[in-house]
């Protein structure tokens, strides 16, 4: 393939590189524009609690005592402060979130301490880390395809991929995990090529980094093992032995945290996946997951059916391109190439497919299938490169595939443009959280508002990130009533229980005006 691409690469080097550099600049722009615009949803609030060094249980206990609270009081449990240090952050992860792993949380804590407390700063760490995706996928493509042209094409696809941009703007560990997967994959291929002790040590180090980034890296490491075993024809060769020793070294560094996960299990963290889901909804879910790699208009389960139907032709086209790219790479590349791509796609894809279609669960989400997405992007980059630079005399084929590649890239740019201007997107669970922006706008319009609630602290913190500093809070535990003080122009109840609503009306001789499903306003009885 290297010889086949060389002539075309020399001919088109200047203009193609220029176009891809423009796409890289656009991709960087999308990763940082409007970082604080989208709602700071529940998973991110949990990340911020971990960053602050407090336990969620402590946060509930200390805030739900009925006293008047300012915005600063709530922010204490969302950002680093002198009362808690990095050791407290690790303790919080161990006791309440052992499955999310500590590396991202610790690094983000140091980042926020350095650059200040805000949603934009917290999310910007993920955005900065995501920039490492570009050199890492370039390195992987050079090792895998021995072609700089495929590497540049892969960078272009990743730069404007809606999925990569979306998770680059989320205060979770997914960007870090993507980088870890790419680094470990490239390091493995390099170690198999150069066969030096140093290269295998580098692979072991990248595995350790990945293990402390996200649990799905274990599945990627298992896929690496399958790849090496098959390539070495099931023989205990020097490469296989070196791989086993490097993998063992990487796993040993993670043994302490494996023990922590076993002794501090968090089964409720994936309780959402216990919902039964039949074949057809699962198939739709998977089609949406993979099509979002290149086209994402923000359609969520709560959107009208007409919008979903209108997207079907576009989704089918994208899925056809993906399937055809896998076919082409299997037919035209060497075993070392296509097997690696297939094992990367299947690393998390196959286990999740089994869980969803055999056990009728719903574990598959876009964020869990990111290694599979990377494998798909490698296959599509190979497809576009080979078709565009083909030595076939039929020029119209080159022009057709150039058009297809352009449409795919433009689809990504359009998707990122729309997403960058939106306050709510599908990954923020709009079916649950769509009323938060409206609720915040109503409360912010009051001159001196008081917000009373006996809800869980997580939804309160979600709303607090949308409110102005003038808003004060009064949070009580279930089956308790607050002592309302005077001096507020407007008093609201946020997501109140029936006990709180009835008690306010009876004891304070008030009436409640329901504004939406989560907000009530207290008015005096006449």
Q: What percent of the chain shows pLDDT beyond 70?
A: 94
What letter would DSSP give residue 290?
H
pLDDT at 4: 46
Identify the pLDDT of residue 403.
Answer: 92
> What's the pLDDT tens digit per position in 428-440?
989 889 999 999 9
In tens, the pLDDT along 463-475 reads 999 999 999 999 9
> How many whole angstroms separate alpha carbon 103 and alpha carbon 117?
19
Q: Which of 152-161, 243-252, 363-372 has the lowest mean pLDDT?
A: 363-372
pLDDT at 269 over 80: no
For residue 369, the model assigns a pLDDT of 93
Please indicate, yes or no, if residue 442 is contained in any of the structural domains: yes
| Whether residue 7 has pLDDT greater than 70 | no
Do the beta carbons of residue 323 and residue 290 sit within 8 Å?
no
Return the closest-CA partner of residue 177 out of 230, 115, 132. Answer: 132
Number of domains in the chain: 1
What's the pLDDT tens digit per position in 296-349?
998 876 677 777 788 889 999 999 999 999 999 999 999 999 999 999 999 999
pLDDT single digits (tens) 51-93: 999 999 999 999 999 999 999 999 999 999 889 999 999 999 9
| pLDDT band at residue 9 using 50, 70 and 90 as cut-offs | very low
The pLDDT, as a whole number, for residue 323 is 96
pLDDT at 204 exceeding the cut of 70: yes
Average pLDDT over residues 499-515: 89
pLDDT above 70 for 6: no
Q: Does an H or E element contain 173, and which?
A: none
For residue 270, the model assigns a pLDDT of 61
Residue 346 lies in a domain: no
Predicted pLDDT of residue 392: 65
The chain-wide mean pLDDT, for the chain, equals 91
**Helix (H/G/I), strand (E/B), else coil: 457:** helix
pLDDT band at 274 (very low <50, low <70, confident <90, very high): low
For 232-251, what is the mean pLDDT? 94
User: In terms of residue numbers, what domain contains 520?
Assistant: 432-524
Helix (H, G, I), strand (E, B) or coil at 397: helix
Q: Is the pLDDT of residue 168 over 50?
A: yes
Identify whether 511 is part of a domain: yes
Higher pLDDT residue, 29 or 355? Answer: 29
Q: What is the pLDDT of residue 3?
A: 45
- Provide the pLDDT for residue 238: 94
pLDDT at 48: 96
Answer yes or no: is 164 within a domain.
no
Question: Angle, nearest 10°, between helix axes 174-194 and 238-263?
Answer: 160
| Residue-wise pLDDT tens digits, 123-140 | 999 999 999 999 999 999
Q: What is the pLDDT of residue 362?
A: 76
Q: What is the mean pLDDT of residues 34-44?
A: 95
Q: Is residue 307 part of a domain?
A: no
The answer to whether position 374 is within a domain reads no
Structure tokens at 369: 């299938």
Q: Are 9 and 153 in contact (CB under 8 A)?
A: no
For the segment 190-199, the average pLDDT, to the nearest whole number, is 96
User: Residues 180, 374: contact at Cβ < 8 Å?
Assistant: no
Helix (H) or strand (E) holding 276: none
pLDDT band at 2 (very low <50, low <70, confident <90, very high): very low
Q: Indicate whether 272 belongs to any domain.
A: no
**Does any domain span residue 34?**
no
């Amino acid at each position: 393939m290297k010889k086949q691409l060389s002539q075309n690469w020399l001919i088109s080097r200047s203009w193609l590189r220029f176009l891809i550099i423009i796409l890289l600049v656009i991709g960087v722009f999308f990763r940082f524009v409007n970082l604080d615009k989208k709602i700071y949803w529940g998973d991110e609030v949990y990340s911020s609690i971990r960053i602050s060094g407090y336990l969620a249980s402590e946060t509930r206990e200390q805030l739900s005592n009925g006293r008047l609270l300012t915005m600063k009081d709530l922010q204490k449990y969302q950002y680093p402060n002198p009362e808690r240090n990095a050791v407290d952050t690790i303790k919080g992860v161990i006791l309440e979130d052992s499955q999310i792993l500590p590396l991202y949380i610790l690094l983000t804590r140091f980042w926020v301490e350095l650059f200040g407390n805000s949603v934009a700063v917290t999310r910007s760490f993920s955005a900065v880390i995501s920039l490492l995706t570009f050199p890492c996928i370039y390195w992987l493509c050079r090792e895998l395809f021995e072609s700089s042209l495929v590497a540049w094409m892969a960078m272009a696809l990743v730069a404007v991929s809606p999925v990569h941009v979306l998770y680059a703007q989320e205060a979770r560990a997914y960007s870090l995990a993507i980088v870890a997967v790419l680094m470990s994959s490239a390091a493995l291929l390099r170690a198999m090529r150069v066969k030096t002790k140093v290269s295998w040590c580098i692979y072991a180090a990248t595995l350790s980094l990945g293990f402390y980034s996200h649990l799905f890296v274990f599945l990627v490491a298992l896929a690496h093992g399958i790849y090496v075993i098959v390539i070495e024809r099931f023989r205990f060769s020097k490469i296989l032995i070196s791989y086993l020793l490097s993998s063992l070294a990487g796993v040993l560094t993670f043994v302490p945290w494996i023990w922590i996960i076993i002794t501090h299990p968090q089964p409720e963290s994936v309780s959402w996946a216990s919902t039964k889901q039949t074949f057809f909804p699962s198939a739709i879910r998977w089609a949406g997951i993979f099509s979002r790699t290149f086209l994402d208009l923000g359609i969520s389960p709560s959107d009208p059916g007409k919008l979903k139907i209108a997207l079907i032709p576009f989704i089918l086209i994208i899925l056809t391109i993906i399937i055809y790219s896998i076919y082409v790479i299997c037919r035209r590349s060497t075993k070392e190439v296509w097997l690696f791509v297939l094992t990367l796609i299947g690393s998390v894809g196959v286990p999740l497919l089994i869980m969803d279609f055999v056990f009728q669960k719903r574990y598959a989400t876009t964020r869990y299938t990111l290694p599979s997405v990377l494998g798909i992007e490698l296959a599509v980059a190979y497809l576009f490169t080979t078709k565009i630079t083909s030595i076939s005399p039929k020029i119209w084929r080159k022009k057709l595939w150039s058009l297809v590649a352009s449409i795919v890239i433009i689809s990504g740019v359009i998707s990122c443009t729309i997403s960058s201007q939106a306050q709510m997107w599908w990954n923020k669970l709009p079916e649950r959280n769509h009323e938060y922006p409206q609720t915040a706008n109503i409360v912010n319009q009051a001159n001196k508002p008081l917000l009373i609630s006996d809800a869980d602290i997580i939804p309160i913190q979600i709303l607090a990130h949308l409110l102005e500093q003038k808003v004060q809070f009064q949070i009580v535990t279930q089956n308790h009533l607050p002592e309302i003080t005077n001096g507020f122009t407007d008093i609201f109840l946020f997501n109140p229980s029936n006990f709180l609503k009835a008690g306010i009306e009876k004891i304070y001789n008030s009436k409640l005006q329901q504004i939406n499903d989560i907000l009530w306003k207290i008015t005096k009885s006449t």
